[in-house]
Structure 1
Amino acid sequence: MDSTNHLKNLVVLAYSDGVFEESELHNLRNAAKELGVPIEQLDKWIADADNIVLTLPEDNAEREKQLISMIKMSTADGYFSQDEYDLCLRIAEKLGYDGLGQALNFCMNESNLKNLIALASADGKIDDSEMAVIEEAAENAGVDKARLAEMLAMGSEFVHVIPELEEDRETQLIQMLSLAIADGEFTADEYQLCKTVAERLGFTQTELDMIIKLSFQGKIELDGIREVDE
């Protein structure tokens, strides 16, 4: 696939959630320079993003290269939206690329891990209970200790990204809950951190409990870990 179609596909992906984030535009401009596409041409595609049709490569090596670029573009704004995730999965299915699902889940989990670190770092420090949750989430997300150390060192630079759409906010909360229960348990510390996340995302404790009950039937027991607000 030529550089023109590759960059146009990246534009389609960046716009899949209906908006171009500044970080995505920055990555698109860098990609244009690397691919030798004039910035003026890129700006025209960005302005006409609604009308661009996705073009898929035939060569296997080129498919993998483009899919990796798309995943990087999807996570450039710090959050992997449901629309972006679904688009990548559709592309993977069309290309018969079985390994992408695992790669997408890893990217989504790492994105959520960054949000956890940002949240825990918001008060300038990460206490022991928060660190325990983060370390467990990192292990569940497949993030090794060296990568986690890098992320923790950058904790103050991470921003907890809150999606605009309620559907995406609920998806983010469910994904973070999934990380918390991946080891088969849900501790009081994990519940409190998820409660903080839920509040940041605009959900009440009652709504959080309902999401837990509906999404994780039989997997999470709230008795004994839930502290009822006065």
Structure 2
Amino acid sequence: MRHDRLHERDWRNDDCYKIIFSPYGQAEYQLNQNYVSIQQNEFFIFNPNIDHKQLKTTKEKFLVEIQPSLLKETAQQLGFKIVEPEFSMLSYRHAQIQQWTSFIREFLMINKDSDPMSKQLFLENSLAQISILMLQYGSGSHQNQFPKIISKQNINSVLDALKESYQEDWTLDQMSLVAGMSKYQFAHLFKEETGISPYSWLQLYRLFKSQQALIFTEQSILTIALEHGFSSVSSYNHLFRKIYNKTPTQFRSTHGK
């Protein structure tokens, strides 16, 4: 947790996972082929050995570096089929990540003048917690759907409906009807709660649902795309490139069994 050198820095490449949380406002990073913007109370996870450059951060930079061996051990204990996950290049909000981060930040601020050894012991024992949260709520190759978000009741009802029929064509009007509010009010509340627009959430849910078919079956990319609600294989490929910086075929080659 630092408050200096928050603007443009040099390119770097780390051999660990890095979860970055933005408590105050926008943080911006540059990758080789795109940019990442992390809004207030959102988080983003960098995979190991990804070239990136910090452009700016508002007021504070909060990050945790996790060695792949710890995350792999945690994934094995939790029973994940993929124990070396590749996280998506997606920033969003999740209440439990936010609560954990707030707790750690408050502890560090309250105990800033305390014995360094006690703080180190506390933080070392917190790494297992954030590893579990990353695996459960960080979207990536180890997930078979978009991580569960606990939200307000009318938003939850829409999320449940979308999950049940994610292959269907949904409009904003239909979603807002399920929520029982105007489409403008619904779209604003949904984005406020999740950090993602309703249609983007649906497309991401479709993508993560499709990952199991990519990894564990030999179905064609076209069949997988259409069976999971995408209108065309090109739209499926486009979203995959945006989320993983690779095509579904390349993703299959990396994680397929």
**TM-score, length-normalised on structure 2?**
0.29
Looking at secondary structure, tell me which structure has more helix per residue: 1
